[in-house]
Amino acid sequence: MVKTKAVMIGAGLANMAAAVYLIQEAHWQGSQITFYGADLHGANDGGPTADFTDEYWNQAHPMANTTGYVARGGRMLNYRTYVDLMDLLDRIPSVTESGMTAAEDTHDFDAHHRTFDKARLLQGGKGIIDGGKLGLNNKDRVLLSKLVLMPDDEETKLDNVSIAAYFKDDPHIFQTNFWYMWETTFAFRVQSSAQELRRYMHQMIYEFTQIEHLVGVNRTRYNQFESIMLPLIKYLEGEGVTFLDNRIVTDWEFADSELQDEITVTGLHVKNLETDTEDLVPIDDETAVIFTNGSITDSATMGDYNTPAPENMDYGISAALWKKATERFYNLGTPDKFFNDRKSSEWVSFTLTTKNHLLLNEITRITTQVPGNALNSFLSTTPITPLGHKDVNMSIVVHHQPHFTTQKPNESVIWGYFLYPRRTGEFVHKQYIKMTGKEMAQELIGQLSKVDPGPNNIKTKEPEILDSIVNNIPVYMPYASALFNNRAKTDRPEVIPAHSTNLAFTGEFAEQPYQMIFTEQSAVRSGEMAAYHFAGISMDHLVETPRYDKDPKTLMRATKKMFS
């Protein structure tokens, strides 16, 4: 199984991690590694909007207004659990801080800008909610404890069990501060996988004691592209790795074998998006194929200040290739579980750029905290869920400024998202998915006004704030939460599937023991596993994953917090 070359399908974090480990641990030359991808960042993007107008996923609906900045999502790190990510970043130099590795850059920034959210939950008519009071009752505590204490070998009991089904006799939990904070920190929905919730409860159990302040959250100096992806790209380019972007692998060639379940890739059909031509790339016996088999930003589209993000009904391009492999082999998972249920996976996010700090200063005044400390959520005061429960309307992240290296001193950038984009706004009476960037800004101002009573509240400054906005970019992502979709354990393929001779799966849709997904941690670890396998390096050399769910002191602190 040891190989001497690798073809990477997808140029996101997982495959770039695999390339770094092949170079540094297996001592490969960069020239032995070739990437095919529609872009060079995957879901870890961020930059001026003008840089995104030629992206594959936005070609059909280019933005009319290309000023300001955009990031489809944001990344919160956690040093205690993201051990593989930090190991990776410590292997490459920062591109913004001279003399530092990318890990040292992040540690240095975080040490000077610690997260301490004083306004984690905001509710109309009540203002800042005391999130330290989790609001759990005894039934909530019992069911949560069962998740935490469930052994790994019993996890399949939660196959195809949603969070709503797990708590079917306990709807109270969905009205607790604990749920509002957990839901918006990690982007779980009630229809998400209880199996995935269990993994988060295991790996992030210590967050029970500090979730209301997010003190366990660490952040990069700038957006995730400039602080994580660009250092990887520059390092790999310097090592001679070949990057072929604007390329999509559309189909496979597999070897015929007497062993019908043996998986050997012999060729890849590669489409060049620039020339609209397709070639067959042969794969020889010495080449590994490392495939990121799904992306949460596939089929994403962007709007602008005056235009909603259009709805793109395309099946994800990477998932479509995964699906073709599953039609040939039985043990490679079930892509439709993740990419054929948009009601469970879609988001709308927005990135708002202003030409002065009026909005930023108003948010600072309302939340009583400086930029960079918070992820704020706004609670509804009226029933909007099918069960008649109040729920979170929207969440915003106010980054430390500047969030982009090219951002001007007078500019502010704020990011936010709607976890349930088909709901209707309270101040703009449209579904969030149908709002323009301006309308999302108006909804944000309205939501903030609910927690800002008095004659001089933020609503009185709405004309000035709207005038200060350079752009507000809505982004529709049909698969943003797809990795949380309700599923069985076998619906994701193993990183190294049984009987595979040269194909590995990486990213958030590959199954790994214990790891929780939707994190840079699991993406990096999958790439590390694939690299070690094809380099003939023992998995004993993988970075050791801490098990806080087995630490008595952590469990005792979490138990005490449950009763707060």
Give the residue from 135, 403, 28 showing the smallest Cα distance to 18. Answer: 28
CB 220 within 8 A of CB 77: yes
* Active-site residue, 200 included: yes
Query: Which residue, among 140, 164, 77, 10, has the nearest Cα to 485 in the 3D structure?
Result: 164
Residue with tokens 């599923």: 487
> If DSSP codes are grouped into helix, strand and coil, which group holds residue 449?
helix
Strand segments (E) across 172-264? 242-245, 247-254
Give the burial class of 463: count Cβ atoms within 10 A of its Cβ; 0-12 exposed, 13-18 middle, 19 or more buried. Answer: exposed
Q: Rounded distance, CA 26 to CA 249, Å?
A: 26
> Are 92 and 101 a contacting pair, CB within 8 Å?
yes
Pick from 213, 216, 200, 222: nearest CA to 46: 222
DSSP label at 49?
G
Neighbours of 98 (CB within 10 A): 8
Read off the DSSP letter of residue 82.
-
Residues 6+ apart with CB under 8 A from 494: 331, 505, 510, 511
Measured between alpha carbons, how far is 212 from 189 in angstroms, rounded to an integer? 19
Cα dist. 45→41, 55, 74, 109, 405 in Å? 6, 11, 9, 20, 14
Catalytic position from the list 69, 200, 305, 420: 200
User: How long a stretch of residues is the chain?
Assistant: 564
* Cβ atoms of 541 and 532 closer than 8 Å: yes
Closest to 316 (Cα-Cα) out of 1, 19, 42: 42
> What angle is formed at CA 29 by the lines to CA 229 and CA 96, rounded to 5 degrees?
30
Tokens, residue 410: 């007078």
Closest CA to 7 of 261, 231, 260, 280: 280
Question: Which residues does 169 contact at the CB level (< 8 Å), separation at least 6?
Answer: 139
What is the Cα–Cα distance from 556 to 564, expressed in whole angstroms? 13
* Residue 316 three-state SS: coil
Active-site residue list? 200
